[in-house]
Each structure stands twice: as C-alpha cells, then as structure tokens.
Amino acid sequence: MMDPVPSAHALRRAPIQQRSADRLARILDACAELLDETGYENLSTRAVALRAGVPIGSVYRFFGNKRAMAIALAHRNLDRYVDGIADRLADLPATDWRPVVDAVLDEYLAMKRSVPGFALVDFGVPAPPAEGPEADPNHQVADRLTELLSAHLALTPDATLERAVLVAVEATDALIQLAFRADPAGDPGIVAETRAMMHAYLARVLD
C-alpha cells in the first residue's frame, strides 16, 4: 500500500508506480532524519539524496528545492496525524467529546516524541508561508480536525466550530512548544495545563 502522497503543489511529479512511491518515501524519510541532525538551514538536497541512497536527479524529479521537500514532509506528517487520530477515535464512543479531544492531543504528543524531523517540521516549514492564511499550517490542521470532530461527534461544521477549533489549535501549539522547551519529552505539568485549557475552552461549543 502506498504512503499518502503529499499535496500536488509540493511535488513536481506525483508517483504513479509503487517503486516511485517507495523512492519518494525514502527521500522524505532521509529529509526527516537530516532535519534532526543538521537543522533546516543546513539541509541540502544532495545530502538527502545520499542518505536516501538515490541519485540527486531522483530528488529533483519530485522537488525543485529543499523547501518544497520540507513542505511535502509536513503534508505527510499531517496525513499521518489525521490517520493516527482516526485510529484512536475508532475505540471511543461519540457520547463524550473530552476523550476525543484528549486523543487529538495525545496523538500530537506521540508524534512530537517519536517522529524524526517533527521538532522542526511538524505540519509546516520553519519559514512563514507566502500564500496567505489558507496555506498556514495551523489553518490546515484546524480544517482537518474540524472534519474529524464533526464526523465522530455528529456535529455541524459551522463557522463557530471552525473558529473554536482554530483558536484551540493555535493555543495548544504555543503551549506544547513551551512544554518541549522546558523538557525534551514535554513538561508533564505544562501538558496537563494544556489539556485543561482545551477542555475548558472547547466546552463552550461542544457541551
């Protein structure tokens, strides 16, 4: 089964055959590993090609530059995040929204602690987006979470819910960054406060 293919605008050419999809996955895996080792500024397409064991031309077949490659990695991370949440929700009843919100936070924490490159490129690249608010990573995360929450809890995804989820995503993002600055594994006290904040704030629209 093919890994989710990053959004088309991040790729010069989308893979069609499984062999091509496997090569793209190796390139993104190498990109993620090198982000942890060298940081974004020192990341290079040549180093990624060497780590992935592919010709440099294979990298340029998919990506015009390292920014496009990092954007594709971010899109893959978001797809995996949504899939991970969906797996957690499969075991949760739709009668109580709080465990659902906990699942959203717990999956993010799990990825933050275990996914290579996630500290620098979670759902967006370090440089600010130039395409406008709709391209902002937190807007994309909020849109996907609104869809998930609406489907699982049988809610109408109206403007009020969309705005509340976006605010919760922005606030949680800032607090989790704080938690991981305080402790490489995520400061437990700050994580607990973040969870309490999410429950208190989202109760306005989910109770």
User: Residue 86 pLDDT more than 50?
Assistant: yes
Confidence of residue 184 (pLDDT cuts 50, 70, 90): very high
Confidence of residue 11 (pLDDT cuts 50, 70, 90): confident
**pLDDT score of 14:** 72
User: Residue 84 pLDDT more than 80?
Assistant: yes
Confidence of residue 110 (pLDDT cuts 50, 70, 90): very high
The DSSP symbol for 4 reads P
pLDDT in tens, 125-158: 876 555 555 568 999 999 999 999 999 999 999 9
**pLDDT score of 10:** 64
Mean pLDDT of all residues in 107-113:
97
Q: What average pLDDT does the structure give for the chain?
A: 90
How is residue 40 written in tokens? 């974004």
**pLDDT score of 72:** 94
Please answer whether residues 7 and 68 qualify as being in contact, where contact means their C-beta atoms are separated by less than 8 angstroms: no
Alpha helices in the chain (DSSP H): 18-38, 45-52, 56-62, 66-89, 97-114, 137-153, 159-182, 188-206
- Coil vs helix vs strand at 147: helix
Confidence of residue 1 (pLDDT cuts 50, 70, 90): very low
Say how far apart CA 120 and CA 125 lie, in whole Å.
7
